[in-house]
């Protein structure tokens, strides 16, 4: 489920639609949570679909660490890629804002941590990285872990409208991490190794 202070908006011809903040969203805000309405497609289900449906899943899903395709039911599926994303996935089935997001600003993810099935080259943003690869998590997880560590403790300091859809067990783990009782799980936990698939 996407943060309620966001909306679907046409960005430009290259990107198409994207998700934009309708209010200021401070760093540490949980911007998206995997919820009970999101649809999970196992690889066998994906392969059994006709090409027209597989194409839709290729565009609008991400893969979890089991290789399942996750189709978000709301406008979360329209979050665009950026090599300088303002949101980051965690190992806890939610994403957080890693910096302040201003009203009118687009919320973005680095697709490198979403287990893409094929490399792709997005619109050039002027960064050194030009292509997203299926194994980017293996190469950039340390950087992304540091970005998460820098803001994770802010989770309890800012308003969390999506807290109601986070599993109670996940919220307890989150609090234990913030209180120093547990280490922050690495984003590398999310990596799917296609060579290990049965």
Summarize pLDDT for 132-145 with one digit per residue, the tens. Answer: 999 999 999 999 99
For residue 198, pLDDT beyond 80: no
β-pair partners for 32: 2, 95
Of all residues in the chain, what percent carry a pLDDT higher than 70?
99
d(CA 172, CA 79): 28
d(CA 129, CA 119): 12
Decide if 197 contacts 67 (C-beta within 8 A): yes
pLDDT-based confidence at 197, cuts 50/70/90? Answer: low
For residue 175, pLDDT beyond 70: yes
What pTM value is reported for the model? 0.96
Decide if 39 contacts 71 (C-beta within 8 A): yes
> 3-state class of 24 per DSSP?
coil
Residue among 69, 74, 83 at smallest CA distance from 17 = 74
| pLDDT tens for each residue of 33-80 | 999 999 999 999 999 999 999 999 999 999 999 999 999 999 999 999
pLDDT-based confidence at 196, cuts 50/70/90? Answer: confident
**Which positions ≥6 away from 37 have C-beta within 8 Å?**
1, 73, 74
Place of tokens 């966001």: 6
Of all residues in the chain, what percent carry a pLDDT higher than 90?
98
Decide if 171 contacts 90 (C-beta within 8 A): no
Tell me the domains of the chain and their CATH numbers.
6-38+73-113+129-196 (2.170.270)
User: What are residue 184's phi and psi, to 5 degrees?
Assistant: -70, 125
| pLDDT tens for each residue of 117-130 | 999 999 999 999 99
Decide if 78 contacts 8 (C-beta within 8 A): yes
d(CA 102, CA 6): 11
């Amino acid at each position: 489920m996407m943060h309620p202070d966001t909306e679907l908006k046409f960005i430009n011809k290259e990107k198409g639609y994207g998700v934009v903040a309708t209010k200021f969203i401070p760093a540490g805000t949980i911007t998206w949570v995997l919820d009970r309405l999101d649809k999970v497609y196992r690889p066998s289900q994906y392969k059994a679909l006709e090409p027209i449906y597989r194409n839709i899943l290729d565009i609008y899903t991400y893969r979890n660490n089991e290789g399942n395709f996750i189709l978000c039911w709301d406008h979360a599926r329209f979050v665009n890629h950026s090599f300088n994303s303002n949101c980051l996935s965690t190992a806890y089935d939610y994403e957080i804002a890693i910096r302040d997001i201003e009203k009118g600003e687009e919320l973005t993810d680095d697709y490198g941590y979403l287990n893409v099935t094929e490399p792709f080259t997005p619109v050039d943003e002027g960064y050194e990285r030009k292509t997203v690869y299926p194994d980017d998590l293996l190469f950039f997880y340390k950087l992304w872990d540091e970005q998460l560590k820098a803001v994770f403790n802010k989770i309890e300091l800012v308003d969390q409208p999506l807290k109601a859809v986070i599993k109670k067990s996940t919220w307890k783990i989150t609090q234990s991490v913030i209180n120093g009782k547990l280490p922050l799980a690495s984003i590398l936990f999310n990596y799917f190794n296609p060579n290990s698939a049965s």
